[in-house]
Structure 1
Amino acid sequence: MDLKEIASKQILDSIQTKKDVLDTLLPEIVQAGQIASKVLENGNMILFCGNGGSSCDASHIAAELVVRYKSGNERRALPAISLSSDSAVLTACSNDYGYEEVFSRQVQAFGKPGDLLIGLSTSGNSKNVISATEAAKKLGMKTISFLGGDGGKLKGMADLDIIIPRKETARIQESHILIGHILCSIIEQELFQLS
């Protein structure tokens, strides 16, 4: 296979994945946007977590909310945080309690009833995202999972699952960031009438 074929195949796979997301997950995506909007409208906060590339996606989406999603959409900052961002907390918790607790410990510190946890896990089997979801539910937080494949062990744990119907990590992550951007668009429309 030549390099153009490799590139072309990935682009076509990505397009097909997004078509499948459009055909099968639109109601869940809109529902996630409405949940997140209501949480923020009520004065609560959104916490994000994920590992590896999903960690970066969690930080990316949180930044879009704190700063702004679309250039020119001037609005107040929204309370969102990525639990993957503080290296001191991550390393201290890993050392003292184990990596499985790095997000749940922060949920216990920052979360409160009415807040929202969005956990990203391409496999659905990330033990630290599972622990964070359990901790959030104990606190009375709302929970949404961005997953892939068959949803793994996280499937059914959160209030709402958005499961990308693919096994390839790259396609799942591309779709998760697209859905994160849609979430930001819905929030800006619902809270500020900014499109």
Structure 2
Amino acid sequence: MRAVKIRLGPYAQLSNPTAGLYGQLGKPLLLLPLFRMKRHEFTHLFGFGAAMVLSGCLGSCTSKTDNATPAPGPGSNNIDFTLDLADPANARLNDPAFGYVYSANGQVIVAKTTAGGYVALAATCTHQGTSVQFQPGSNGFICPNHGSKFSTSGTVLNGPASAPLQAYTVVQTGTKLHVTS
């Protein structure tokens, strides 16, 4: 690298902001050290720069919605498990502010209704497969992704979901809840 001495010509005046870009005899004015680059170096740098710009452009072409697979239809999976209400892992089920737990495999949501009973529904929204949550205040289920609302029986109260959540049978024996399909 070598520094270049620059002599300003008679046309480089402060009143004309673009005149300062050119020196004597119309040659470009360079304020940085002079870099000499070979043709193949230029094409490599240009190709790398173009690849970076295009990858950014292609990345912006993706969809903003999540394309998860909807939940399987009723009767397509066998559910059979037991929850112990005395187990500290299930303490949130009896918490009035929370009121629900997911099964160990995450396929089922079990909730305590305002009437004091327990319901079990498929945990994934039928619209795009997002996990639903129980809302104890409204005694219903909501999908946080697009706002679909479901009743405690699984029926759709508000879309965009059009299919109901699969409901499961819940039998309480003492402090045990047995959930089956």
Higher helix share: 1
TM-score > 0.5 by shorter chain = no
For Structure 1 versus Structure 2, the TM-score category normalised by the shorter chain is under 0.3
**Greater relative contact order, per chain length (Cα 8 Å cut-off, separation 6+):** 1
Higher strand share: 2
Which entry has the higher C-alpha Rg, 1 or 2?
A: 2
TM-score, with normalisation over the residues of structure 2? Answer: 0.24
